[in-house]
Structure 1
Amino acid sequence: MYENITYEVKDGIGYLTINRPKALNALNTEVLKEIQKCLDEDIAPDDSINVVIVTGAGRAFVAGADIVEMKDATTNEGHAYTERGHKVMNTIDHMPKIFIAAVNGFALGGGCELSMACDIRLASEKAVFGQPEVGLGIIPGFGGTQRLPRLVGKGMAKYIILSATNIRADEAYRIGLVQKVVAPEELMPEAEKLAKKISSKAPIAVRQAKAAINAGLDTDLNTGSRFEIEAMTQCFASEDKTEGMTAFVEKRDPEFKNK
Structure 2
Amino acid sequence: MIELSVENEVAYLTLKPEEKFNILNTHTIKEIINSIKHLIDSPAKVLRIFGEGGSFAVGANIRTMLGYSGFDAKGFSILGNRLFNLLQDIPQVVIAEIDGFCMGGGVDFAAAADFRFATKRSKFAHPGSKLGIITGFGGTQRIPRVMKQSYYQKLFITGDLFDADFMYRGGFLFGICEDKDDLRQNVDNFVRKIINKNRVHIYYLKQMVNKGR
TM-score range, shorter chain: over 0.9
Q: Give the corresponding residue for 1:33.
A: 30
1:1-259 alignment, distance < 5 Å: 4-20=1-17, 22-40=19-37, 42-46=38-42, 48-184=43-179, 185-217=181-213
Amino acid at match of 1:165: D
- For the aligned residue pairs, the C-alpha RMSD in angstroms reads 1.3
CA distance in 1, matches of 2:124, 2:197: 31
CA distance in 1, matches of 2:187, 2:60: 25
Amino acid at match of 1:53: R
Q: In structure 2, list runs of 5 or more residues that go unmatched.
A: none
Amino acid at match of 1:83: I
CA distance in 2, matches of 1:196, 1:43: 19
Q: In structure 1, the residue corresponding to 2:79 is in which secondary structure?
A: helix
User: What is the percent sequence identity of the aligned residues?
Assistant: 29
TM-score (norm. length: structure 2): 0.94
Deviations 1:34-72 (A, max 9, x none): 0111111x21121x2110100101111112212232121
C-alpha change, 1:21 and 1:168, in structure 2 (3 Å) is farther
Deviation at 1:191, TM superposition (A): 1.6
CA distance in 1, matches of 2:205, 2:170: 23
Higher relative contact order (CA 8 A, sep 6+): 2
Deviation at 1:196, TM superposition (A): 2.5
Greater shift after overlay, 27-36 or 206-215? Answer: 206-215
Greater shift after overlay, 164-173 or 195-204? Answer: 195-204
Amino acid at match of 2:23: A
Count of aligned pairs between the two proteins: 212
TM-score (norm. length: structure 1): 0.78
Deviations 1:223-242 (A, max 9, x none): xxxxxxxxxxxxxxxxxxxx
CA distance in 1, matches of 2:138, 2:195: 27
CA distance in 2, matches of 1:8, 1:188: 16
Whose Rg is larger?
1
Deviation at 1:203, TM superposition (A): 1.9
CA distance in 1, matches of 2:195, 2:18: 30
Deviation at 1:135, TM superposition (A): 1.7
